[in-house]
Chain A
Amino acid sequence: MTTQPKSIVVPVPSEEDREYWAGAKEGKLLIQKCGGCGRLRNFPSMGCPHCGILKWSWVQSKGKGKIYSWIVVHPPVLPAFADKVPYNVILVELEEGTRIVSSLVDCPNEKIAIGMPVEVVFEKLTEEITLPKFRPAIGAR
């Protein structure tokens, strides 16, 4: 008897975000920095929406920010999320100014609010992929 592998949704890294995922695996939240104008951006992309330069480097985020918006998802959902409903998805504005979609852990959905301070944690999804997630910042818990 083999157990049915749990269905999950996994990102496939590519040229412009390979280092982002490598960073997450090492417990670092990386933000892409434009090689032209120096502005930060997230999600990782090939080019800069400000100046169109196709070069970049990475800076490590302090991993702190505030909830910019949030939702709680109810059915219908994909089988991969069926045992998680109702689950939250949050949009965090990091102190560095960029925004990131993630999940809030260690917090009941009823306590989520816009403006809530959060800090990054890391959750292993597969051998290759670790997802940056957030928990309420110390003092906000």
Chain B
Amino acid sequence: MPAQSAIVGIGQTQFSKKIGISEAAVAYQAIQNAVADAGLQMKDIDGLVRYSLDTNNEWQLAYNLGIPQLSYFAVAPGGGNAGANTIQLADLGIKGGLAKNIVVFRARNRGKQSSAGPGQFEGGRPWEKMATQVRETPKKFHNPYGLIAAVQEMAMIARRYMHEFGITYEHFGHVAITERAHAMRNPYAMMREPITMEDYLSARWIAEPLRLFDCCLETDGGAAVVVTSVERAKALKQKPAYILSTGNANVFMTVPGTNYFKPSLFSTESAAVAEMVYGRAGVKPKDVDAAMIYDAFTPRVLIGLEDFGFCKRGEGGDFVAEGNIAWPNGSIPTNTSGGSLSEIYLHGFNLITEAVRQIRGTSTSQVKDAEVVLVASGNFSPTSAFILGSQPS
């Protein structure tokens, strides 16, 4: 089926460790920038999609941004797993004729020093604010042993991944080093100093087998996009990034974070969603020119490359070591803005704006003639993905 919607505007705020404004103000700025980029005015916006973890809500955004009427609003459940789901909800809103121009955004102030706003979860680390009385299942069976932060949960999967497939620390290191090299060309990226394998291996442990540079940034900032119909897109000022397909997947015995109880840990949600988005778009892995794979921690990128068919299960380590994800010469340049590891951590929303830039031809690590770009959100949770095209079909 040809695309019925397209991303026609992108915007972002300054990226910072201490931005000094609230998550609300971050959202307003990012959205204003995206709407202006599309050549639209706020009165043209009639739909809004957000992450459930965002602290901003519909009426407050409409009130402060001067949006006269919202006809469609939707919430994608989660954080890093929900990025592509927000785009699916916007695509469905357009397809259903429920709205004309839909804003999608993420605003997230989680630098260690940031506490500019009144929100309960604004500033600092969400996991450090957890109660000492744990009622939620399965957290109540895990937190008392000190398994609490996302990096700790991921480390357990990473260790098993290393064991089953012969993955090494250096394999993880190649992801961090490559994304840093991409970030060095991106003037908005927060981390622009090169890192070597020696730097990677000598960095401190966070949760063995993961070290500092395996982890995403703790940062403040926001980004937004505008989604509209294919017809309207043609009349707007930017080159449209057509939404070719979207998908969501929760599989047998999915448990977010501590996804440890399936018969195989590597029967993943992303493998299921890959079949959906490739099938619906009528494309194959070899047709994809650039990939944006959720990278809160480096092992996610290796496993994602496998799930989305760029290499076989267990080959992700050698695949990145051979330079396949590096711009410009790799077979599938990945996270070309520097991603969550080196640009900014926005629950993957910066991967969406970068995917649009690749289609437009405006990335600072631009893949020549990029026609098909994949965006894959957080795996080992209910997950989502979508594919953008430079043409509607």
Chain A residues within CB distance 8 Å of chain B: 7-12, 14, 16-17, 41-45, 49, 68-74, 76-78, 80-81, 84, 86-87, 89, 91, 98-103, 114, 125, 129, 131
Q: What is the distance, in angstroms, from A75's C-beta to the closest C-beta of chain B? A: 8
Chain A residue contacts of B127, Cβ below 8 A: 78
Can you give 12 A-B contacts (C-beta < 8 A)?
A9-B146, A10-B134, A12-B134, A42-B261, A45-B137, A71-B209, A74-B204, A77-B148, A77-B149, A78-B148, A89-B156, A114-B160
B138 touches A43 (CB 8 A): yes
Chain A residue contacts of B133, Cβ below 8 A: 10, 12
- Residue of B134, B206, B260 with most chain A CB atoms under a 10 A cut-off: B260
Tell me whether B370 is interfacial, beta carbon within 8 Å. no
Chain B residue contacts of A91, Cβ below 8 A: 156, 160, 260
B253 touches A74 (CB 8 A): no
Tell me whether B216 is interfacial, beta carbon within 8 Å. no
B135 touches A14 (CB 8 A): yes
Which residue in B130, B146, B157 is a CB contact (below 8 Å) of A84? B146
Report the 8 A-B pairs with minimum CB-CB distance, sorted nearest first: A11-B140, A72-B208, A69-B160, A71-B155, A43-B138, A74-B205, A81-B146, A43-B141
Chain B residue contacts of A43, Cβ below 8 A: 137-138, 141, 261
Instruction: Scan residues 132-166 of chain B and give those whose CB is less than 8 A from a CB of chain A.
Output: 132-135, 137-138, 140-149, 152, 155-157, 159-160, 163
- Residue of A10, A86, A131 with most chain B CB atoms under a 10 A cut-off: A10
Alpha-carbon distance between A47 and B270 when the two chains are bound, in angstroms:
25
Q: Is the interface of B mostly helix, strand, loop or mixed?
A: mixed
Q: What is the distance, in angstroms, from A30's C-beta to the closest C-beta of chain B? A: 12
Alpha-carbon distance between A65 and B130 when the two chains are bound, in angstroms:
31
Chain B residues within CB distance 8 Å of chain A: 125, 127-128, 130, 132-135, 137-138, 140-149, 152, 155-157, 159-160, 163, 204-209, 252-253, 258, 260-261
Chain B residue contacts of A49, Cβ below 8 A: 252-253
A16 touches B137 (CB 8 A): yes
Please, which residue of chain A has its CB at the minimum distance from the CB of B128? A78
A71 touches B137 (CB 8 A): no
Chain A residue contacts of B160, Cβ below 8 A: 68-69, 91, 114
Which residue in B137, B145, B157, B207 is a CB contact (below 8 Å) of A131? B145
Please, which residue of chain B has its CB at the minimum distance from the CB of A87? B146
B208 touches A71 (CB 8 A): yes
B152 touches A9 (CB 8 A): no
Chain B residue contacts of A9, Cβ below 8 A: 130, 132, 134, 143-144, 146, 148
Given contacts A17-B137, A78-B148, A89-B152, contact A72 B207 (CB under 8 A): yes
Alpha-carbon distance between A68 and B264 when the two chains are bound, in angstroms:
11
